[in-house]
Amino acid sequence: MILSRLLSFVFRGLEFVCAIIILGLGGHFIWRMNRDGPGPRGRLIYTEVVATFAALLSLIWLVPFTWTFLHYPMDIILSLAFFASFGALFDWIHINGLNCSGIFGVWNWDGNSHNNYCAEWKTLEAFTFMSGVFWLISAFLSIHVFHRVRGRNSPKAITAA
């Protein structure tokens, strides 16, 4: 049980860090769009809302008590929300026609730098995907702990002892 609480604490901390990074990068893109013109406002606002809920919930559930393992349906929902956000962000860069090819997406083949737009966008995509994975791992850990603890207190386990 100590290992599961330690792992839960580590993954909740990673979820919080990813959510804060996503909030910062997403806010930067929203600011940039207000300054420079049109962009994927709806996709970024969705990402910001999901990251806000994730930051709040991961901070609350960072406390390593057994009751924090009971929220695995919300872990699954947030994981799916982050994967949907990743898909929306990934799809926009190709629909827009911005060519982010080359080494790590920083340089276009024509030699122009897009003012680090591609690198920042791909960083936002990466942290969105990693956050979804961390929430999914937390869900699996919570399911494992929840069913293991529930199995100990079942009537079959009590009569067998």
Q: What is the rounded CA–CA span in Å between residue 108 and residue 148?
A: 52
Note down pLDDT in tens along the chain; length 161 residues.
Answer: 678 778 888 999 999 999 999 999 999 888 887 766 666 778 899 999 999 999 999 998 887 666 666 788 899 999 999 999 999 988 877 666 556 654 444 444 444 555 677 778 889 999 999 999 999 999 998 888 877 765 565 555 445 44
Residue 108's pLDDT is 47
Q: Supply the pLDDT for residue 103.
A: 47
**Amino acid 24: pLDDT:** 95
Q: What is the pLDDT of residue 148?
A: 75
Report domain extents, the chain. 2-160
The two counts, helices (H) then strands (E), for the chain are 5, 0
How would you label 75-106 residue by residue, b for 16+ Cβ within 10 Å and e otherwise? bbebbebbbebbebbeebbeeeeebbeeeebb
pLDDT of residue 68: 66
Tell me the Ramachandran region of residue 98: left when phi exceeds 0, alpha when psi lies from -120 to 50, beta otherwise.
beta
Phi, psi (degrees; rounded to nearest 5) at 31: -60, -45
Instruction: Report the alpha-carbon distance of residue 124 to residue 72 in Å, rounded.
Output: 25
- 107's torsion region: left (phi>0), alpha (psi -120 to 50) or beta? beta
